[in-house]
Amino acid sequence: MLSFPNIDPVAIALGPLKIHWYGLMYLLGFLAAWWLGRLRARDGSRGWSMAQVDDVIFYSALGVVLGGRMGYTLFYGSQQYLQDPLAILRIWQGGMSFHGGLLGVLLAMWLFGRRYQKGFFATTDFIAPLVPLGLGAGRMGNFINGELWGAPTDLPWGMIFPAALAGGIARHPSQLYQAALEGALLFGLLWWYSHRPRPLMAVSGCFLLGYGIFRGLVEFVRMPDPQLGYLAFGWLTMGQLLSLPMVLLGIFFIWRAYVRQTEQQGLEL
């Protein structure tokens, strides 16, 4: 078994000002998305200008932070935030919901599309491959915070987390599993898939399908949020429940994208 490296969650302390690793991971994710977006727009073939990339990342950042925090409040911790409303602002302490952040980003993409006269799915298809590295960075932030650990395990890479609720027993480092699957692997798949022109909605569908599957699988070895526990059957978690619609929508979007492409090709003939 392995011991948790016990990294100080504060990366930089300048008097009363403290910069946390968790916040830096989000910043790293946004910077990576911005750089990758400008890389994709550089040849001009995708119809995106550098200024539009800058703006879409700004819109996305607002959607992630506001939607993620509000989603966590709604899905996981409403009682806590009713007792201490100002805790909503303390994002460096953790407590961000991916599914809430996704809804926030979708709303932001709709607003962005209205401003720049870009279709909703044309926008989400462009930005979907830029997202996973940020997800991976966020999971590394969870790991540094020593939160969202996994279920007990006797595997050699089981890790003892320092938090009292972890119980001093070896657990799956599920944050690292998610960083690898939702971050590195999903990025590689989407970057490869979107390298060639794909029918509208297909890339967005692949993102939803890939994330939903990876998240659902890791949830089997990740402890549920203590305030919720398992929702049913002794294994169903809120993360799995919220990921199921993503899988179904992802399959539908991919199917619809290729059906529409076939229909259009038939009309052209």
pLDDT at residue 102, rounded to an integer = 86
Confidence band (pLDDT; 50, 70, 90) for 253? very high
Residue % of the chain over a pLDDT of 70: 89
* For residue 29, pLDDT beyond 90: yes
- Asked if the model's pLDDT at residue 81 lies above 80, the reply is no
DSSP helix, strand, coil percent of the chain (3-state; round to 5): 65, 5, 25
Q: Comparing C-alpha atoms, which of 65, 47, 56 is closest to residue 101?
A: 65
CB 165 within 8 A of CB 226: yes
Name the nearest CA neighbour of 122 among 132, 134, 133, 109: 109
Which tokens sit at 98? Answer: 């991916």
Which pLDDT score, from 0 to 100, does residue 132 have? 96
12: enclosing H helix or E strand: strand 10-14
Nearest to 127 by CA among 148, 153, 95, 102: 102
Task: Give 191-203 pLDDT, tens digit per residue.
Answer: 999 999 999 999 9
Q: What is the residue-averaged pLDDT of the chain?
A: 87
Q: State the DSSP code for 180.
A: I
pLDDT tens by residue, 178-235: 999 999 999 999 999 999 999 999 999 999 999 999 999 999 999 887 777 888 888 8
Q: Give pTM, 2 decimals.
A: 0.87
Question: Is residue 214 within 8 Å of 227, Cβ to Cβ?
Answer: no
pLDDT in tens, 121-160: 999 999 999 999 999 999 999 999 888 899 999 999 999 9
The pLDDT, as a whole number, for residue 107 is: 92
Q: Are 29 and 68 in contact (CB under 8 A)?
A: no
Using the predicted structure, report yes or no on whether residue 24 has a pLDDT greater than 70: yes
Beta-ladder partners of 3: 160
Percent of the chain with pLDDT over 90: 57
Strand ranges of the sheet holding 170-171, from the earlier edge strand across to the other edge: 2-3, 159-160, 170-171
| 70 compared with 152, residue with greater pLDDT | 152
Q: How many CB atoms lie within 10 A of CB 189?
A: 17
Q: What is the tens place of the pLDDT at every residue in 34-51? A: 999 999 998 777 889 999
The partner residues of 222 in beta bridges, in order of sequence, read 150
Helix (H) or strand (E) holding 10, with range, is strand 10-14
Q: Where are the domains of the chain?
A: 2-268
* 17 vs 187: CA distance, rounded Å: 34
Report the distance separating Cα 90 and Cα 55, nearest Å: 25
> Which tokens hold the place of 223?
């402890």
Query: Would you give the distance in Å from CA 263 to the centre of its chain?
Result: 33
